[in-house]
């Protein structure tokens, strides 16, 4: 292992191709459940926003190059809803249970949440 160096190199940019704001947190939970094919899925929470994102695969040469050379990552789609207070579980009236992962300690997720709040 000798001269092993470890360093943090955060992303410089997240390019979000499309975003959809749902009127309620229950609507977001239903969407996340359907998008996951009825399997258990979770949503992320930070800065008063719950969201789920779908990254663009880095298997394409262009996406891989952008990630490595420019520290840019592409998210194909983000769906979100405002959720002022964190809670660990969303339960809809249809009994869909969606865990919520608190990412409020992540500067990246905080910035994404703030950006999403500013969209109309």
Q: How many other CB atoms are there within 10 angstroms of residue 2's CB atom?
A: 3
Tell me which residue range forms the domain holding 44. 13-118
pLDDT digits (tens, 9 = 90+) for 20-76: 999 999 999 999 988 777 676 889 999 999 999 998 777 777 777 777 788 888 899
Q: Are 71 and 9 in contact (CB under 8 A)?
A: yes
Please tell me which residue, 73 or 98, carries the higher pLDDT value. Answer: 98
pLDDT digits (tens, 9 = 90+) for 3-33: 899 988 888 899 999 999 999 999 999 999 8
Torsion of CA 33, 45, 111, 37, to 10 degrees: -10
Residue 81 lies in a domain: yes
Distance CA 16, CA 53 (A): 9
Q: In the chain, how many domains are there?
A: 1
Backbone angles phi, psi at 84, to 5 degrees: -55, -40
Residue 36 lies in a domain: yes
Residue 5 lies in a domain: no
Exposed / middle / buried, residue 72 (Cβ in 10 Å: 0-12, 13-18, 19+): middle
Query: Taking residues 83-90, what's their average pLDDT?
Result: 97
For residue 101, the surrounding DSSP H or E stretch is: strand 97-102
Residue 63 lies in a domain: yes
Residue 2 lies in a domain: no
Residue 7 lies in a domain: no
Residue 3 lies in a domain: no
* pTM of the full structure: 0.85
Residue 108 lies in a domain: yes
């Amino acid at each position: 292992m000798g001269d092993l160096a470890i360093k943090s190199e955060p992303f410089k940019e997240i390019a979000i191709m499309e975003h959809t704001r749902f009127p309620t947190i229950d609507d977001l939970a239903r969407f996340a459940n359907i998008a996951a094919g009825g399997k258990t899925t979770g949503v992320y929470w930070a800065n008063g926003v719950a969201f789920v994102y779908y990254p663009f695969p880095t298997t394409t040469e262009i996406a891989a190059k952008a990630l490595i050379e420019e520290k840019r990552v592409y998210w194909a789609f983000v769906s979100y809803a405002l959720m002022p207070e964190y809670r660990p579980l969303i339960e809809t009236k249809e009994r869909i249970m969606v865990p919520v992962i608190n990412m409020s300690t992540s500067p990246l997720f905080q910035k994404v949440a703030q950006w999403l709040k500013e969209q109309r």
